[in-house]
Amino acid sequence: MSLYAQSGVDTEAGDRAVELMKAAVQATHGPQVIGGVGGFAGMFDVSALKEFDHPVLATSTDGVGTKVAIAQAIDKHDTIGQDLVGMVVDDIVVVGAKPLFMTDYVATGRVIPERIAEIVGSIARACAETGTSLVGGEVAEHPDLLGPDEYDLAGAAVGAVDFELRLDPSRVRSGDVVLALASSGLHSNGYSLVRRVLADAELDYTSSIADFSRSVGEELLEPTRLYAGPVVSVLENPTTKGAVHMLSHITGGGIAANIARVLPAGLWLELDRSTWQPPQVFRVLADLGGFALGEVEDTWNLGIGMVALVEADRAEAVQQAFVQLGIPTWQAGVVSDAQRDLAADGFTVGAKGVHAGGVRLVGDFAS
Q: How would you class 355 by CB atoms within 10 Å of its CB: exposed for 0-12, middle for 13-18, buried for 19 or more?
A: exposed
pLDDT for the residue 153? 95
Q: By three-state DSSP, how is residue 223 classified?
A: coil
> To which H or E segment does residue 68 belong?
helix 67-73
More confident of the two residues 160 and 208: 160
| Nearest residue to 95 (alpha-carbon basis) of 178, 28, 158, 29 | 158
Average pLDDT, the chain: 91
The closest of 206, 245, 167 to 75, measured between CA atoms, is 206
CATH code for the part of the protein at 169-362: 3.90.650.10
Residue 355 has pLDDT above 90, yes or no: no
Q: Mean pLDDT check: name the lowest of 42-46, 171-175, 334-338.
A: 42-46
CA dist., res. 53 & res. 299, Å (int): 40
User: What pLDDT, on the 0 to 100 scale, is given for residue 8?
Assistant: 55
pLDDT tens-digit map of 12-49 = 666 676 676 667 677 677 788 887 776 677 888 899 99
* pLDDT at 17 (0 to 100): 63
Q: How confident is the model at residue 9 (pLDDT cuts 50, 70, 90)?
A: low
- Residue 196, pLDDT > 80, answer yes
Mean pLDDT of 202-206: 92
208 — pLDDT class (breaks 50, 70, 90): confident
Q: Give the lowest-confidence range in 71-80, 106-115, 282-291, 310-319.
A: 106-115
Q: Report the pLDDT value the prediction gives residue 356, as an integer from 0 to 100.
A: 81
How far, in Å, are 69, 136, 137, 230 from residue 123 at the CA level? 17, 12, 11, 18
**CA–CA separation, 157 vs 211, rounded Å?**
37
271-274 own/partner pairs: CB under 8 Å, 24+ apart: 271/178, 271/180, 271/332, 271/333, 271/359, 271/360, 271/361, 271/362, 272/332, 272/333, 272/361, 272/362, 272/363, 273/361, 273/362, 273/363, 273/364, 273/365, 273/366, 274/363, 274/364, 274/365, 274/366
Q: Which amino acid is at 316?
A: E
| CA atoms of 166 and 145, how far apart (whole Å) | 42
Burial 289-323 (b: 16+ CB within 10 A, else e): beeebeebbbbbbbbbbbbbbbbeebbeebbebbe
Q: What is the pLDDT of residue 6?
A: 47
Q: Is the pLDDT of residue 4 over 70?
A: no
| CA pair distance 325, 224, nearest whole angstrom | 16
Determine the Cα–Cα distance for residues 223 and 117; give it in Å rounded to an integer: 18
pLDDT over 50 (residue 3): no
Q: Superfamily for 3-165?
A: PurM-like, N-terminal domain (3.30.1330.10)
Q: Distance (Å, rounded) from C-alpha 118 to C-alpha 68?
A: 13
DSSP letter assigned to residue 32 = T
Residue ranges covered by each domain of the chain = 3-165, 169-362
Q: What is the DSSP string of 110-168?
A: S--HHHHHHHHHHHHHHHHHHT-EEEEEEEEE-BTTB-TT-EEEEEEEEEEEEGGG---
Strands in 151-162's sheet, in edge-to-edge order, are 55-63, 151-162, 98-108, 133-141
> How many C-beta atoms lie closer than 10 Å to residue 281's C-beta?
21
Q: Phi and psi of 48, rounded to 5°?
A: -65, -25
